[in-house]
Structure 1
């Protein structure tokens, strides 16, 4: 791992929260992600399943976490299984977790080698009535690949058909949505790394550069600051490309007079940041570009103020839509007839602003977190309105990450990243 070791106290707290919500006499199991093949002997870089990381800090393949708060043997109430290492593995793959290191990272005293899992698990299942399965129920998920978790669930149902089944996901949605102070610090670090990348770009972008060159500059800055790289696939979209919401080919040349939309951010210690900034390729906004930019910025600022404890997710987005409608009217993109005759299921403003304004962010860029209950303090959200005008060859989106406070306006983790027109123009001066 590139990042500095996280205190085990975070993972101890997270496990306590999870176990406090488990049914009596129940076991929960969490598996690492697979290493996914490309072809021949090639594989994708390993990415740990965020749930086992959240609960244990184990950032290694072939790890299993078992939680059984009511186990007869107190030593078996928290168990972490890790891959047994040897001299051959050390030479070819590098250092793996020892039992001692696994305890230091996770705060779990009982560590077994993975080869012992079946025996220990069977013994504990004879005491348990319920098994918690960790299914993926994220509202955006569309996974087709069978995961290590899927295989475990399939095999467990065959071996233990008499046990009741419960879901880990509702608990995780609730507890992962509200961040601990240590998590917010890690996200702040990710945002600080992102800031360094963005400031590097302001001195680099000019007419004639290619989108992929900008991507390379960012990756350089992120990795040199102990990030693995991008928190998500980067969007570097100049000119008309900005009107493609998930434009990721990043293969066009930036032209004089165009705007450049960059939805790019660093991860740190598996925690995400999520930034969007839109800047003029030549360093100067035209009057029209400035007007649209300022409208987006006003919507972002007003939307941010609404992210307070008690806010309803659906009502929040409706209100942001009303603010955006007002801005689009002032820009001449909508007229009163458009609004009066709009389809209530697809309001008029959606022609120019078709996506949501905010999402939870944390270990996942689109993080777990409840959406059908009121917002709480220490939830972290993006705020990312945009206006997309294909006929003007322009798309503008602005995005920050903010922490809901117990009282007052949210705390902006990206407050130091340039956002005002004058500051951007000043920093982009040749």
Structure 2
């Protein structure tokens, strides 16, 4: 891995929190992701399943974490299974975890080779009543491939039909939604790398450059700062491309007079950053571009102030909608009749701002976290309002990553990334 080794005390603490919420005489099992094939002998680059990483720090394929706090033998209360390595694997694939290294990374003392899993699992299942399965229940999940977790669940139910089943996900939604300080520090590092990429791009963009060239500038800066690359597929959208919310082709030439919307973020140590900035291709905002831009910025700033303990996600979005409605009236994009006659289920502002304002961020760009309970300290959210005006060849979105704090204002992890009109113009015209 490119990133510095994470202090294993983070993962020890995460396991302790998870096990405290398990039922008596229960086992929880977490599997690594598969390495997914493309065709022939080609595969996608490996990315670890976030839950096993959150609980162990293990960033390697073919690994299994087993938690059994009521195990008779103390050594079986936390077990890690990893793929056995040898000299041949070291030559062809590179370094893999030894048992000693697995302990150094995770803090788990009992490490077996993966080939021993079924034997050890049978032994401890004789002591257990319940198995926690790790299913993906994120509100935006759209999984169409069978995962390693899916295969394990099928195998386990067939092999042990007399046991009871529980879900890990409700526990993980709460735990992962609230970050430890060490996680916030890693997120801050991801945001710092994103900042470096953006400042590089500010001095690169000019009329005539291509969207994919801008993408390459970000990637260059991310990689040279020990990131694996983008947290998600980047959006580099000039002109009317910005009005396609998930435009990812990044294939057009940037033209004089256009605005350029860039929704990008660097990952670091599997943690995501998520930034959006919109800049004038030629380095100078027109009066109208500035007018719309500052309206979006005001909404973002006011929405950020609402991210405090006790806020409900659904009600927050309603209040942000009111802010946006006021700004759209001021811009002449809505009139009073539009608002008076609006459909409560699709308010008038949705014509120009059709997506949500905030989502949890962490190990996933759209991270786990409870959405029907009050926000609490150390949750981390994006704030990303936008105004999209196809008739004016312009879409503007601004986005920062923000930590909720117990006392005081929310803490902006992207506070050093230029966002004011004057800052953007200064950087672009140095």
Instruction: State the Cα distance separating 1:409 from its structure 2 match.
Output: 1.4
Instruction: State the Cα distance separating 1:404 from its structure 2 match.
Output: 0.1
CA distance in 2, matches of 1:95, 1:428: 43
- List per-residue Cα deviations over 1:380-424 (Å, max 9, x = no partner): 000000000000000000000000000121100000000000010
Q: Does 1:62 align with 2:83?
A: no
Q: Does 1:341 align with 2:338?
A: no
Instruction: State the Cα distance separating 1:326 from its structure 2 match.
Output: 0.2
Q: Which residue of 2 aligns with 1:78?
A: 78
SS at match of 1:377: coil
SS at match of 1:343: coil
User: How many residues are aligned here?
Assistant: 430
Q: Which residue of 1 aligns with 2:30?
A: 30
Q: Which residue of 2 aligns with 1:17?
A: 17
Q: Does 1:289 align with 2:289?
A: yes
SS at match of 2:337: helix
SS at match of 2:80: strand
Computed over aligned residues only, the root mean square deviation of the Cα atoms, in angstroms, reads 0.4
SS at match of 1:152: helix
CA distance in 1, matches of 2:162, 2:196: 55
CA distance in 2, matches of 1:304, 1:17: 29
Instruction: State the Cα distance separating 1:298 from its structure 2 match.
Output: 0.2
Q: Which runs of 5+ in 2 are unaligned?
A: none
- List per-residue Cα deviations over 1:61-102 (Å, max 9, x = no partner): 000000000000000000000000011101100010000000
- Taking the TM superposition and a 5 Å limit, the aligned residue runs for 1:4-403 are 4-403=4-403
SS at match of 2:21: coil
CA distance in 2, matches of 1:423, 1:215: 22
CA distance in 2, matches of 1:250, 1:314: 33
TM-score, normalising length: structure 1: 1.00
CA distance in 2, matches of 1:111, 1:336: 66
Instruction: State the Cα distance separating 1:187 from its structure 2 match.
Output: 0.3
- List per-residue Cα deviations over 1:23-61 (Å, max 9, x = no partner): 000000000000000000000000000000000000000
SS at match of 1:388: strand
CA distance in 1, matches of 2:74, 2:405: 38
TM-score, normalising length: structure 2: 1.00
CA distance in 2, matches of 1:44, 1:427: 37
SS at match of 1:216: helix
CA distance in 2, matches of 1:196, 1:234: 16
- List per-residue Cα deviations over 1:313-342 (Å, max 9, x = no partner): 110000000000000000000000000000
CA distance in 2, matches of 1:407, 1:83: 46
- List per-residue Cα deviations over 1:277-308 (Å, max 9, x = no partner): 00000000000000000000000000000000
CA distance in 2, matches of 1:50, 1:362: 10
CA distance in 2, matches of 1:116, 1:62: 13
CA distance in 1, matches of 2:126, 2:387: 58
CA distance in 1, matches of 2:422, 2:91: 54
Structure 1 runs (4+) deviating above 6 angstroms are none
Instruction: State the Cα distance separating 1:165 from its structure 2 match.
Output: 0.5
SS at match of 1:188: helix
Instruction: State the Cα distance separating 1:166 from its structure 2 match.
Output: 0.3
CA distance in 1, matches of 2:126, 2:344: 55
CA distance in 2, matches of 1:429, 1:47: 39
